[in-house]
Amino acid sequence: MTEKIKIDVWSDIACPWCYIGKRNLENGLAQTAADSDAPQVEVTFHSYELSPDTPVDFEGDEIDFLAGHKGMPRERVKEMLDNVTGVAAKAGLEYRFDLLQHTNTVKAHELLHFAKAQGRQHEMAERLMSAYFTEGRHVGRIDDLVELATEAGLDADAARDALQSGRYLAHVHADQAQAQAYGIQGVPFFVIDGKYGVSGAQPADAFAQIARQVWAEKQQTAPQQA
């Protein structure tokens, strides 16, 4: 029996390319599902904070944040956001930067680790990114995160306790340390079976191709059953 391909994804909730990369990965894997010998894949999300110094309640919109954080002219920032909105649309995502509430994402990452322990990390990652980029929901405050957790099928009281206690913060820091060890300097970043690194929101076709390639490699090296 060939072991599943392990895909480890480093991303940030507040990274527009990370949501696009997530959806392209899912669409790419969906392309392989009809294969006679479809690759078996296990995807795990890992924490990466692009701007850990961001306040929980940022005053201003996304243009204000990027213009201040990156020192870019506002018109250039607007062009950049229009571009990523167009790319997102091709992936089937409707970005609403006009509604987006910029915030610190560390608590959202803690919630992802709590969700992973409950077997619902994928549902939580999707709920957080959709809430942030398409619905204008706040993903930095505990009350808002608990509400999103319940929408992803998690227990409200358990989620609140996990966030208030901060017991998953060490997991967030461990992911960030691993990213540093890998030399990851930007996200999304995909580590395929611990040996291939894929940077950026690659097209769905690229993810389908690498899944098929790695699956074929694994089958060639897998021990044969007697």
Q: Report the distance separating Cα 97 and Cα 113, nearest Å.
A: 26
Assess if residue 9 is contained within a domain.
Answer: yes
Provide the residue range defining the domain that includes 193. 5-221
Confidence of residue 225 (pLDDT cuts 50, 70, 90): low
Look up the pTM and report it.
0.95
Q: CB of 28 within 8 A of CB of 211?
A: yes
For residue 211, the domain's CATH number is 3.40.30.10
Q: Report the distance separating Cα 186 and Cα 10, nearest Å.
A: 9
Least confident of 77-81, 92-96, 181-185, 220-224: 220-224
Per-residue pLDDT tens over the stretch 49-98: 999 999 999 988 899 998 988 788 999 999 999 999 999 999 999 999 99
Q: How many domains does one find in the chain? A: 1
Tokens of 134: 């398409």
Please name which of 31, 48, 50, 47 lies closest in space to residue 39, comparing C-alpha atoms. Answer: 31
The pLDDT value given to residue 74 = 93
The pLDDT value given to residue 69 = 80
